[in-house]
Amino acid sequence: MTTPDMTLLIGNKNLSSWSLRPWLVLSHYGIAFAEDHVRLDVPDDRATIAARTPAGWVPVLWHKGDAVWDSLGICEYLADLYLERHMWPEDARARAVARSVTAEMHSGFAALRNEMPMYFSEEKEATPSEACRVNIARIQNIFKDCRDEFGDGGPFLFGAFSIADAFYAPVVSRFRTYGVTCEGAAADYCEMMWSLPSMQQWYRGAQAEVLEAEA
């Protein structure tokens, strides 16, 4: 068996939303890669991560000896490397909106991140603040608006799967974890995303981590 020339260093599958995003892109598009792990919930985890990554956080993609870090940086690198996979929409307007909502997720929604951290395979309770409720409403509007305007070609935000879907995948899990109610197009989109084989594969990995930690 040929060893992949890409290795993705990720954190805990139950906890690391940033790791999920490039992992999902690689997995969904069938790109061969090796998977490496570093624990995020143990003493000295920051020192361990810093010793293994250029910027001191995960994820990091190693490709032919070179490191690419930050989830968006990795996904953009993959999009350039595999132009034929069309990881961004081909239509110029759709591509602009896809990049915009992806950047919005990458840099925003602080209240949601803080109040509803990712526990991919668990159920939790939280009482969202007004700021968090605003974040939730904005995300559901993104789902609806993108599906309404660009979703004719398939079930994803822009019809076909794109980097934008990978960036909102952790939110889909958060909505399930904390029992956030979605309606209409947003509910349909969340259900579709959760049922993706790659999402379910990540879920099984997250479950295994939790069971191992409890043993």
- pLDDT surpassing 90 at residue 41: no
pLDDT at 54: 75
Q: Is residue 212 over pLDDT 70?
A: yes
CATH 3.40.30.10 residue ranges for the chain = 6-84
Is 14 in contact with 117 (CB distance < 8 Å)? no
Distance of CA 142 to the CA centre of its chain: 16
Confidence bin at 7 (pLDDT 50/70/90) = very high
Class of the CATH domain delimited by 6-84: alpha beta
Query: Is pLDDT of 45 > 70?
Result: no
Residue 65 CA: distances (Å) to CA of 5, 27, 61, 79 = 9, 21, 10, 19
Average pLDDT over residues 23-42: 92
Q: How big is the chain by its Cα radius of gyration, in Å?
A: 17
Q: How much is the pTM? A: 0.94
Q: Any idea of the CA torsion for 25, 172, 15, 177, to the nearest 10 degrees? A: -160
- Long-range contacts of the stretch 46-55 (C-beta < 8 A, 24+): 49/11, 52/9, 53/9
pLDDT of 53 > 80? The answer is no
pLDDT of 154-206, one tens digit each? Answer: 999 999 999 999 999 999 999 999 999 999 999 999 999 999 999 999 999 99
Q: 2 falls in which pLDDT band (50, 70, 90)?
A: low
Average pLDDT, the chain: 94
Does the structure show a pLDDT above 70 at 3? no
| 12 vs 156: CA distance, rounded Å | 26
Query: What is the share, in percent, of the chain residues with pLDDT greater than 90?
Result: 85
Q: How many other C-beta atoms can be found within 10 angstroms of the C-beta atom of residue 135?
A: 22
Task: Check: CB of residue 34 under 8 Å from CB of residue 71.
Answer: no
- In this structure, what token pair is assigned to residue 149? 């305007």
- If one compares 83 and 55, the residue with the highest pLDDT of the two is 83
Spatial separation of the C-alpha atoms in residues 16 and 170, rounded to whole Å? 9
The answer, yes or no, to whether the previous bond of 59 is cis (omega within 30 of 0) is yes
Tell the CATH topology of 87-198.
Glutathione S-transferase Yfyf (Class Pi); Chain A, domain 2 (1.20.1050)
105-147 pLDDT per residue, tens: 999 999 999 999 999 999 999 999 999 999 999 999 999 999 9
Q: Kindly give the residue spans of alpha helices, DSSP state H, lying in the chain.
A: 17-28, 45-52, 71-81, 92-107, 110-115, 130-150, 163-177, 184-194, 197-214
Q: At 9, is the secondary structure helix, strand, or coil?
A: strand
Q: What is the predicted pLDDT for the residue at 50?
A: 75
What is each CA distance from 53 to 20, 50, 72, in whole angstroms?
Answer: 17, 5, 16
Query: 92, 39 in Cβ contact below 8 A?
Result: no
